[in-house]
Amino acid sequence: MEEKIWLSSPHFEGTEGALLQEVLMPQGGGEQLYAQLPKFEKQLEELLGVPAIALNSGTSALHLALRLLGVEKGDEVLCPTFTFSAAVNPILYQGAKPVFIDSEQETWNMCPELLREAILDRRSKGGKLKAIMLVHNYGVPGKLDELFEVAEEFDLPVIEDAAEALGGKYDGKPLGAFGRMGILSFNLNKIITATGGGALVSENKDLLAQGLHLATQAKDGSGHYQHSTLGFNYRMSPLLAALGGAQLKMLEQRVEKRRQLFKEYQASLETVEGLTFQQEEKKACSNRWLTCLKLPNGIAPVQVLQQMAARGVELKQLWKPMHQQPVFEGFPSYLNGVSQNLFEQGLCLPSSSSLTTGQMTKVTQYLHELVG
Ligand SMILES: *Cc1c(COP(=O)(O)O)cnc(C)c1O
Answer yes or no: is the C-beta of 193 below 6 A from any ligand 1 atom.
Answer: no
Say how far residue 120 (Cα) sits from the centre of its chain: 27
Regarding the beta carbon of 84 and ligand 1, being less than 6 Å apart is answered: yes
Out of 66, 110, 133, 185, mutate this one to test ligand 1's pocket (max ligand atoms within 8 Å of CB): namely 185
SS3 278: coil
Listed in sequence order, the DSSP H helices in the chain are 16-23, 29-34, 36-48, 58-68, 89-93, 112-124, 144-153, 205-215, 238-248, 251-269, 301-310, 338-345, 357-371
Check pocket membership of 86 for ligand 1, CB cut-off 6 A. Answer: yes
Check if CATH label 3.90.1150.10 holds for domain 251-371: yes
Any ligand 1 atom below 6 A from CB of 82: no
Any atom of ligand 1 within 6 Å of the Cβ of 88: no
How high is the pLDDT of residue 29? 66
Query: Strands 158-161 and 181-185, how do they pair?
Result: parallel
Q: What contacts 234, CB < 8 A, 6 or more positions away?
A: 55, 56, 57, 60, 61, 63, 64, 214, 215, 216
Angstrom distance (rounded) from CA 282 to CA 24 = 46
Q: Answer whether 139 contacts ligand 1 (Cβ < 6 A).
A: no
pLDDT in tens, 236-268: 999 999 999 999 999 999 999 999 999 999 999
- How far is the C-alpha of 275 from the C-alpha of 273, rounded, in Å? 6
If one counts every other C-beta atom within 10 angstroms of the C-beta of residue 63, the result is: 24
Closest atom of ligand 1 relative to the 186 alpha carbon: 7
Q: How confident is the model at residue 221 (pLDDT cuts 50, 70, 90)?
A: confident
Say if ligand 1 is within 6 A of residue 161 CB. Answer: yes
Query: Ligand 1 mean position to 214 CA, how many Å?
Result: 20
HSE of 87, CA atoms in CB hemisphere, 13 A: 29
User: 261: closest CA among 324, 349, 154, 197?
Assistant: 349
Residue 59 near ligand 1, beta carbon < 6 Å: yes
In Å, how far from its chain's centre is CA 143?
Answer: 16
- Supply angle C-alpha 191, 194, 197, rounded to 5: 95
For ligand 1, say whether the CB of 290 is within 6 Å of any of its atoms. no
Beta bridge partners of 133: 159
Report which ligand 1 atom has the smallest distance to the Cα of 60: 9
**pLDDT tens sequence across 155-187:** 999 999 999 999 999 999 999 999 999 999 999
- Alpha helices by DSSP H, listed for 270-331, are 301-310
- Best substitution site from 84, 175, 181 to test ligand 1's pocket, by max atoms within 8 Å of Cβ? 84
Is residue 53 within 8 A of residue 199, CB to CB? The reply is: yes
Question: How far apart are alpha carbons 182 and 160 in whole angstroms?
Answer: 4
Q: What's the rounded Cα separation, in Å, for the pair 285 and 271?
A: 24
pLDDT one-digit tens code per residue, 25-53: 877 567 888 899 999 999 999 999 999 99
Q: How far is the CA of 57 from the centre of ligand 1 (A)?
A: 8
- Ligand 1 atom with the shortest distance to the CA of 164: 15
Task: Calculate how far, in angstroms, residue 271's C-alpha sits from the geometric centre of ligand 1.
Answer: 34
What is the rounded average pLDDT for all residues in the chain?
96
**Residues 72, 97: Cα–Cα separation, whole Å:** 9
Whether the CB of 87 sits within 6 Å of ligand 1: yes
Strand partners, 319: none
Q: What separation in Å is there between the alpha carbon of 80 and the centre of ligand 1?
A: 14
Q: Is the CB of 281 inside a 6 Å radius of any atom of ligand 1?
A: no
- 16-248 CATH fold: Aspartate Aminotransferase; domain 2 (3.40.640)
User: From residue 276, how far is each of 105, 130, 251 by CA, in Å?
Assistant: 11, 36, 27
Domain boundaries, the chain: 16-248, 251-371
- Select from 8, 56, 59 the residue to mutate for testing ligand 1; criterion: most ligand atoms less than 8 Å from CB: 59
Look up the pTM and report it. Answer: 0.97
pLDDT in the model for residue 160: 98
Q: 358 in helix, strand or coil?
A: helix
Say if ligand 1 is within 6 A of residue 65 CB: no
- Evaluated on CA atoms 275, 276, 277, 278, the torsion sign reads negative
Q: How far apart are the first and last CA of the chain?
A: 27
| List of residues 6+ apart from 294 with CB closer than 8 A | 275, 276, 277, 341, 342, 345, 346
Residue 59 CA: which ligand 1 atom is closest? Answer: 9
DSSP output for 175-205: TTSSSSEEEEE--TTSSS-SSS-EEEE-S-H
Q: How far is the CA of 257 from the centre of ligand 1 (A)?
A: 21
* Sequence-separated (6 or more) residues with CB below 8 Å from residue 33: 23, 24, 238, 239
Helices (H) and strands (E) in the chain, counts: 13, 15
Tens digit of each residue's pLDDT (9 = 90 or more) over 86-126: 999 999 999 999 999 999 999 999 999 999 999 999 999 99
CA of 58 to the centre of ligand 1 (A): 5
Q: Contact, 142 vs 168, CB < 8 A? A: no
* pLDDT over 70 percentage in the chain: 99
**Per residue in 297-311, pLDDT tens?**
999 999 999 999 999
pLDDT at 1 > cutoff 60: no
Beta bridge partners of 276: 294
Q: Residue length, the chain?
A: 372
